[in-house]
Chain A
Amino acid sequence: MEKPSYNTDIVRSFVTWSLVWGLVAVLVGVIVSLQMVNPDLNFGPYLTFGRLRPIHTNAGIYGWGVGTIFATFLFMVQRLCKQPLWSDKLAKFQLWFFNATIIASAVTLLLGYTTSKEYHEMEWPIDVMVVILWVAFAINIIMTIIKRKDEQMYISLWYMMAALIGVAILYLVNAAAVPASLFKSYSAYAGTNDANVHWWFGHNAVAMALTAPPLAMFYYFLPKSTGVPIYSHRLSIIAFWSLIFMYLWTGAHHLLWTPVPDWIQTLAMAFSVMLIAPSWGSVINGYLSMNGQWHQMKENYLVKFLILGITFYGLQTLQGPMQSIRSFSAFIHYTDWVPAHIHMGTMGWVSMISFASIYFLAPRIYGREIYSIPLANLHFWLALIGQLIWSISLWVAGVLQAGMWNAMNDDGSLTYTFMETMVEMYPYWWARVIGGAIYFAGILIFVYNLYMTVRKKETIPSTTAEGRA
């Protein structure tokens, strides 16, 4: 059968730009972590922690995360459907509109144009841009899938389509606002309703942007890297339906003990615990796919990234439900434990899978073998060590501070003032700076490795032929 002529150009461009925004996200992360230990590093009004932290999170989610989703989805959909992309022009538009949106977000956030809603800080004109961007992307992917010959869809396609729908619904509903001017709007919902809608968005953005897409990538790039199929397609189907059904009930676990009605909190708690099952369905499916292939952990650096990634997903989906239990949340919420949890997910799970995906793509989009496998291995260890230092130090910090917040004297008064608990955090915040810096060093090596790959003279004939470069 003749190979269709796949669009590789667009994948290459998205990889480049997602790397740019990934670098920005981690660099700003290191900067804000330094501001946490030394307030003199805040340069008002534009470069304060309060304005830079949303740039760190949004560059991470929308620049690096979504950029990688664009790159890998556009690559996977063509091959899984054995069809060229539905519209190359639309994809080109998507690329430049993506960068325009990210730049507009960064500039407006620095200027203080923000809705304050976590992970959805961009004001309404940027919201409009995000919606246009997502629709362009969704149409292209869906039309490519529809165009394919009538055959069973692979699980990665399922997760991709769920992500397309899910993000669209979440983003639109949570964006509802009444504009007061070009860069100022007021939420369509008030108080407790706004909180509940927002965390329905917030938690499911994690599901639809930072869980379903990495799972799509994992299910695609793991078998492609090992050369053996996943253990069970049927297990992945059961896990899929359970996951997308249950996730949407759990947003209020971010709001335990707040004025949000009790029954919503209880439902969120119950469904969070139940979510362990589909999450671990994917983890176990991944591990069993390695049956007889575990030696590849030594021989194949791609497998190392992917298996560590899915392992952190497994840990993440055990720790998450634990935090969703009322009594545990009462103790740990609002401390540094929670950022440590989030960073295990982003640095350990989503980024590990994204690194592996991009390493896998490199020879196929650049037409050259990767410049250096030892450097890729070094990147792996820096990413792993950096993330572990980051998370473990802040888990300890969280437990310590929670303990101090709750400590009481015999007469029923509090043992510590707030400041007495806060100053105890400084050593752990320094540890976070170090962890973040190590992780950043790993990313610099990653980018250097890819840059040298592109500059290499010799090409692989078989793979260059496939692109239309």
Chain B
Amino acid sequence: MDWASILYLGVTFGLFAVFALIVVRTYNKKSKDRNESAKYRMLDDD
């Protein structure tokens, strides 16, 4: 494999890792209430 392919593969996996991190962080059980709270609060009467 040449350097370009390795770089390409690295960037692909890197991006996937960032995506996985965002998913894990967002769907973390501990923060479920915090992450979903906004959708209830926006329904407050105004």
Contact = CB atoms under 8 A, between A and B. Distances in A.
- A–B touch (CB < 8 A): the answer is yes
Interface of A: 3, 6, 79-80, 82, 151-156, 220, 223-224, 227-230, 232-234, 237-238, 241-242, 466
B5 interface: no
Contacts of A220: 42
Nearest to A151: B41
A157 to B, nearest CB: 9
| Count class of interface residues, chain B | 10 to 19
Contact of A152 (B22, B26, B27, B37): B37
A152 B38 contact: yes
Contact of B26 (A3, A79, A151, A238): A238
Interface in B10-46: 19, 22-23, 26-27, 32, 34-44, 46
A400 B44 CA distance: 53
B26 A154 contact: no
A241 B22 contact: yes
Given A79-B46, A223-B43, A242 B36 contact: no
A154 B41 contact: yes
A238 B22 CA distance: 7
Contacts of B19: 242
Contacts of B34: 152
28 contacts: A3-B46, A79-B46, A82-B46, A151-B37, A151-B41, A152-B38, A152-B41, A153-B38, A154-B38, A154-B39, A154-B42, A156-B42, A220-B42, A223-B42, A224-B42, A224-B43, A229-B39, A229-B43, A230-B39, A233-B36, A233-B37, A234-B35, A237-B22, A237-B26, A237-B35, A238-B22, A238-B23, A238-B26
Interface of B: 19, 22-23, 26-27, 32, 34-44, 46
A360 to B, nearest CB: 13
Contacts of B43: 223-224, 227-229
Interface centre among A154, A224, A228, A466 (most CB of B within 10 A): A154
B39 to A, nearest CB: 4
Contact of A233 (B23, B35, B44): B35
Across the A-B interface, give the 9 residue pairs with the lowest CB-CB distance, nearest first.
A229-B39, A154-B38, A233-B39, A152-B38, A79-B46, A154-B42, A234-B26, A233-B36, A234-B35
Contacts of B44: 82
Contacts of B42: 79-80, 154, 156, 220, 223-224, 229
A156 B19 CA distance: 21
A229 B40 CA distance: 6
B22 A232 contact: no
Interface centre among B26, B41, B42, B43 (most CB of A within 10 A): B42
A241 B43 CA distance: 24
A361 to B, nearest CB: 13
A234 B41 CA distance: 15
Contacts of A151: 37-38, 41
Given A234-B27, A238-B26, A241-B22, A155 B38 contact: yes
Contacts of A228: 43
